[in-house]
Amino acid sequence: MTDTKDTIAMNQNVVTYLKKFKLHHKALYDRLIIFGVKPNDVIKYLEQPEQCGNWPFDFVCEMASVIPKISKKYLIDFPIIELQTEEDRVISKLLRKNNLLAFDIKIYLNKMVSVNHLIQFMERDPIIYEWNAYFVWQVSQEVIEVKEKLL
């Protein structure tokens, strides 16, 4: 019985993760493939399985195997976000006002993280609390790298 509850919880967490993912990757979301499937297909499979009856059997099997992989790799506890530092404030203003610096930084960034994401994180914009935990972690790592390059 616990396995069923754990599976249901995992499925709900995966759906939540994928829906939040769409918030910060709007431009990439329709072209995105995670472990060989589109996020919208995973959401459809979990929320409306009755609409997946025409899918090929091997695709349904693939879908069932992808959900635990997504859960294992991307579902983490929400990281602790420290208060904004003076460095954060200054660097975010520099990135916002200096297009050349922002372009320079963009070259080094993970493809999923934009300069706007860095600015939002460094300014502690309330939107960052709507992002999924894995993305917040990615952005925080990018902020650390940017600080190392600039300071």
What is the average per-residue pLDDT within 39-59? 91
For the beta carbon of residue 82, count every other beta carbon within 10 angstroms. Answer: 9
Looking at residue 53, its pLDDT comes to 84
**Whole-number pLDDT of residue 127:** 93
pLDDT digits (tens, 9 = 90+) for 67-123: 999 999 999 999 999 999 999 999 999 888 887 777 677 777 777 888 889 999 999
Q: Which residues share a beta bridge with 93?
A: none
**What percent of the chain stands above pLDDT 90?**
54
Residue percentage of the chain with pLDDT more than 70: 97
Q: How much is the pTM?
A: 0.80
Burial of residue 24 (CB within 10 Å: 0-12, 13-18, 19+) is buried
What is the per-residue pLDDT for 8?
87
Q: List, as one string, the DSSP characters of 66-127.
A: HHHHHHHHH--PPPP-PPPPHHHHHHHHHHHH-HHHHHHHHHHS-TT--HHHHHHHHTT-GG
Segments making up each domain of the chain, as ranges: 2-74, 86-150
Per-residue pLDDT reduced to its tens digit, 124-146 = 999 999 999 999 999 999 999 88
